[in-house]
């Protein structure tokens, strides 16, 4: 194939049996299971194991995995020391990439990757996956306190993944509804076929880099506003709009200047993102719990989505996963610049499932290009130019 397709649109870059989406019908499945079913019936722990192993676990398998995650939450003291030297004004995704990459220096033993043979050591792959998934939440929540000059709250073994994440942010026992919503949100963000960050993970994985570097590559790729970084921008955008009354004039101005509307549009979905539908339902559930009161941000989001429907739907642009997630995280007291980090925590499960799949049938990614530069020419010495 020599045709160049910008953004590799429509070009299959891998074969995978991890997740599948139907962009016309708005369907997403993990290992064949609908996300709507997983969001209601599963937990992040179970979904992560489903993604890694390819099948729903038994009680016993899930219990073992859950215990492994709980006992792997503590992050080495030296990682906290590294964090202390990072500027508090830096973006949390830059910290996360740094901290995840640094973990690799503490957990070596990647001989099965670098030995030259195909890595068949599933124990190593599983153990590294546990180490990373368990520590992602700790690192993200630790940073919230370290950057504000406080000691972080140590992780608690008696809480599940979502509860512990919320606890580590606030230092308080998590509200059960908030913990359930966080759990559902982690499930919804855990995997999404071959998106930009997963592709970055595959490329890094295909060179047999350590899993920590694979995840660091993916974290860096997720950070951009066209990908996971959009959730932070959605909340900033809604704050800028202020109230539903300002939506139409604001939108007209933005569209006239060809600006992006954050949280809208998707390469694959040409209908509303199924994850956005579920997150919106969770917003309504939270609103009901609070006696119908959700503040102007949610109202503004609903009005903006409605206005976009009229103006962007003809282009196949609808709300994506990032449109409602930030509003939920804000309600949980998480600062906007940490929203993408929460996304990364969840997506680490999907990235690691793809890393494992890539190792199972590895060939280094080395695509080709269409050269558009000068043809061969003679070098001109500097004083003759």
Nearer CB in complex with ligand COA: 92/265: 265
| The one catalytic residue among 322, 354, 361, 378 | 322
The answer to whether 35 touches 96, Cβ cutoff 8 Å, is: no
Q: SS3 sequence, 172-207?
A: CCCCHHHHHHHHHHHHHHCCCCCCHHHHHHHHHHHC
Does position 266 interact with ligand COA (CB under 6 A)? The reply is yes
CA angle at residue 348 from 347 to 349, to 5 degrees? 85
Sign of dihedral through CA atoms 369, 372, 373, 377? positive
Q: Minimum CB separation from ligand COA for residue 140, in Å?
A: 20
Q: Minimum CB separation from ligand COA for residue 277, in Å?
A: 14
- 289 catalytic residue (yes or no): no
User: Which of 230, 235, 251, 345 is the binder for ligand COA (CB under 6 A)?
Assistant: 230
Sign of dihedral through CA atoms 189, 271, 288, 330? positive
User: Which of 226, 236, 243, 245 is the binder for ligand COA (CB under 6 A)?
Assistant: 226
User: Which of 75, 141, 264, 359 is the binder for ligand COA (CB under 6 A)?
Assistant: 264
Rounded Cα gap, residues 313 and 265, in angstroms: 9
Q: Minimum CB separation from ligand COA for residue 47, in Å?
A: 19
Rounded Cα gap, residues 383 and 188, in angstroms: 61
The answer to whether 365 touches 206, Cβ cutoff 8 Å, is: yes
At a CB cut-off of 8 Å and minimum separation 6, what does 358 contact? 14, 202, 205, 206
Q: Minimum CB separation from ligand COA for residue 367, in Å?
A: 19
Does position 262 interact with ligand COA (CB under 6 A)? The reply is yes
Nearer CB in complex with ligand COA: 234/359: 234
Does position 305 interact with ligand COA (CB under 6 A)? The reply is no
Nearer CB in complex with ligand COA: 122/255: 255
Sign of dihedral through CA atoms 303, 304, 310, 313? negative
Calculate the alpha carbon distances from 44 to 31, 62, 104, 290 in Å: 15, 11, 24, 25
Rounded Cα gap, residues 127 and 125, in angstroms: 6
The answer to whether 31 touches 51, Cβ cutoff 8 Å, is: yes
Does position 260 interact with ligand COA (CB under 6 A)? The reply is yes
Size of the site for ligand COA (CB under 6 A): 18
Does position 10 interact with ligand COA (CB under 6 A)? The reply is no
Among candidate residues 300, 309, 328, the one with its CA nearest the CA of residue 241: 300
- 126 catalytic residue (yes or no): no
Q: Which stretch binds ligand COA (CB under 6 A): 49-57, 140-148, 163-171, 318-326?
A: 318-326
> Looking only at residues 66 through 125 of this chain, which bind ligand COA when binding is defined by CB under 6 A?
none
Does position 267 interact with ligand COA (CB under 6 A)? The reply is yes
Does position 320 interact with ligand COA (CB under 6 A)? The reply is yes
Does position 261 interact with ligand COA (CB under 6 A)? The reply is yes
Find tokens 């509307």 and name the residue: 261
Q: Which stretch binds ligand COA (CB under 6 A): 96-104, 121-129, 211-219, 315-323?
A: 315-323
Q: Which residues bind ligand COA (CB under 6 A)?
A: 7, 226-227, 230, 260-267, 312, 315, 317, 320-322
Residues with catalytic function: 266, 322
């Amino acid at each position: 194939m020599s045709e160049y397709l910008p953004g590799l649109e429509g070009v299959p870059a891998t074969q995978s049996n991890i997740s599948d989406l139907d962009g016309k019908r708005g369907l997403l499945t993990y290992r064949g299971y609908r996300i709507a079913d997983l969001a209601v019936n599963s937990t992040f722990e179970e979904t992560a194991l489903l993604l890694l192993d390819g099948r729903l676990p038994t009680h016993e398998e899930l219990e073992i995995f859950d215990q492994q995650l709980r006992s792997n939450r503590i992050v080495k003291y030296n990682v906290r020391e590294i964090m202390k030297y990072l500027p508090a004004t830096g973006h949390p995704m830059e910290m996360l990439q740094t901290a995840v990459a640094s973990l690799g220096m503490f957990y070596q033993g990647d001989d099965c990757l670098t030995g030259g043979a195909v890595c068949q050591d599933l124990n190593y792959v599983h153990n590294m996956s546990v180490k990373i998934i368990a520590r992602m939440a700790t690192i993200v929540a630790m940073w919230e306190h370290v950057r504000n000059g406080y000691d972080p709250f140590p992780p608690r073994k008696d809480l599940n993944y979502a509860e512990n994440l919320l606890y580590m942010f606030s230092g308080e026992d998590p509200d059960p509804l908030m913990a359930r919503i966080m759990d559902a949100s982690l499930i919804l963000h855990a995997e999404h076929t071959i998106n930009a960050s997963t592709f970055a993970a595959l490329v890094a994985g295909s060179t047999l880099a350590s899993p920590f570097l694979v995840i660091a590559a993916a974290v860096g790729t997720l950070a951009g506003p066209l990908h996971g970084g959009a959730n932070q921008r959605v909340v900033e955008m809604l704050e800028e709009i202020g109230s539903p009354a300002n939506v139409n004039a604001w939108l007209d101005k933005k569209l006239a200047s060809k600006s992006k509307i954050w949280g809208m549009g998707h390469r694959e979905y040409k209908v509303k993102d199924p994850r956005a539908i579920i997150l919106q339902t969770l917003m309504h559930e939270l609103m009901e719990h609070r006696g119908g009161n959700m503040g102007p941000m949610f109202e503004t989001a609903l009005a903006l989505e409605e206005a976009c429907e009229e103006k962007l739907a003809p282009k196949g642009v609808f709300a994506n996963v990032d449109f409602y997630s930030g509003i939920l995280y804000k309600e949980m007291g998480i600062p906007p610049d940490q929203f993408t980090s929460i996304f990364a925590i969840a997506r680490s499960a999907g990235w690691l499932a793809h890393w494992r799949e890539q190792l199972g049938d590895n060939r280094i990614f080395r695509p080709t290009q269409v050269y558009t530069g000068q043809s061969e020419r003679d070098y001109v010495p500097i004083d003759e130019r």
